Amino acid sequence: QVQLQESGPGLVKPSQTLSLTCTVSGGSIRSGGYYWAWIRQHPGKGLEWVGYIYFTGSAYYNPSLKSRVSISVDTSKNHFSLNLSSVTAADTAVYYCARYIDADWFFDLWGRGTLVTVSS
Amino acid sequence: QSALTQPASVSGSPGQSITISCSGTSSDVGSYNLVSWYQQYPGKAPQVMIYEGSQRPSGVSHRFSGSKSGNTASLTISGLQAEDEADYFCCSYAGNNIVVFGGGTKVTVL
C-alpha cells in the first residue's frame, strides 16, 4: 500500500530555510486525482494547512505563509518537498506530509510526521 | 483565512452521545459541503473519520456521523467508548484551492 515518509533536519536556525522531503512508496506520485500536501501542528495545538501540489507542479499555499513557502515535486524520485524561508521559533512544529483526494476533498493518507525545532 | 472554531473540549460517559461543533463562515463551511473530520491520538498522525460532510470511509465505525447547518458542521459520536478518547479536528475546503482546519477538540470519556 502507499506510504508517505518525511525526512529532513530536526533543527533549523532562526532566519534560515526549513527544508523537508516526503517520499512516496508503494505507488506513483504521478497518479492523477491527488494533491500532495504539507500540514503542520504546533506543539499541543491544532493543525495548519501549509500547502499542496499536483504532480504537474501546480502548487497552492496557505495565504498566511505564501510569502515564505515553496512546495515542489520530483516525479523521477517520487517525492515532493517543502521549503519554508526566514524561519522563527513560531515555525517550530511537527510537519506532516499527506495525500489529498481531489474528488472527495479529504486527506486520506498521512506520514508519521517529523518535529522541526527552530532554535539557535 | 481564519481557522474554523471548535470547542476546546467535550466529554461524555460511556454509551452516551456527544457532538462536536465546527463553526466557519459563508466562505468555507457555508459554501461547500466539503467538511472532513479527523481523529488523532497522542503522538500519532490524524486519520479521517468523515468526509464530504457526512460520508464515512470504509472501516470507520457507524457510531461516527457528520452533518451541517448553515456555517456550522458537526461530528456526533454515539455509543461513546473509551477508545474514542482523542483529539478531533474539522477541515473545510475554502475555495481558490485553500484548505482550513479547526483548532481541535479534546474528547474525554468519563
Q: Of how many residues is chain A composed?
A: 120
Q: Give me the pLDDT at residue A31, please.
A: 87
Opening angle at CA B37, ends A5 and A71, nearest 5: 40
Rounded to a whole number of angstroms, the distance between the first and last alpha carbons of chain B is 35
Predicted local confidence at residue A21, as pLDDT? 98
Mean pLDDT over the full length of chain A = 96
pLDDT at B1: 67
Q: In this predicted structure, what is the pLDDT of residue A103?
A: 86
Task: Decide: B51 and A105 in contact? Cβ < 8 Å.
Answer: yes
Q: pLDDT tens for residues A5-43?
A: 999 999 999 999 999 999 999 999 998 899 999 999 999
Q: Which pLDDT band holds residue A111 (cuts at 50, 70, 90)?
A: very high
Tell me which of B64, B99, B101, B106 to substitute to probe the interface with A (most A C-beta atoms closer than 10 Å): B99
Whose grid coordinates read 466539503?
Answer: B34
* Residue B47 confidence (pLDDT) above 70: yes
DSSP letter (8 states) at residue B84: G
Question: H-helix or E-strand containing B11?
Answer: strand B9-12
Alpha-carbon span A59 to A50, nearest angstrom: 11
- Indicate whether B104 pLDDT > 90: yes
Picking from B46, B39, B32, the residue whose alpha carbon sits closest to that of residue B92 is: B32
Mean pLDDT of B53-80: 97
Q: What percent of chain A has pLDDT over 70?
A: 100
Cα separation, A120 vs A37, in Å, equals 28
Reported as a single tens digit per residue, the pLDDT across A88-109 is 999 999 999 999 998 889 999 9
pLDDT digits (tens, 9 = 90+) for B16-44: 999 999 999 999 999 999 999 999 999 99
Bridge partners of A101?
Answer: A34, A106
Question: Does A63 sit within 8 Å of B101, measured CB to CB?
Answer: no
Contact present, B22 and B109 (Cβ < 8 Å) = no
| Cα–Cα dist B98/A61, whole Å | 7
**What does the pLDDT read at residue B2?**
79
DSSP secondary structure of A73-87? EETTTTEEEEEE-S-
Q: Cβ–Cβ of B104/A104 closer than 8 Å?
A: no
**Residue A73: predicted pLDDT:** 97
- Tell me how far the alpha carbon of residue A116 is from its chain's centroid: 12
Burial (CB count <10 Å: 0-12, 13-18, 19+), residue B97 = middle
Chain B within 8 Å of A63 (Cβ-Cβ)? yes
Which residues of B are less than 8 Å from A105 in CB distance?
Answer: 32, 34, 36, 51-52, 93
A96: which chain B residues are within 8 Å (Cβ-Cβ)? 45-46
Contact between chains at A47 and B51 (C-beta distance less than 8 A): no
d(CA A34, CA B34): 16
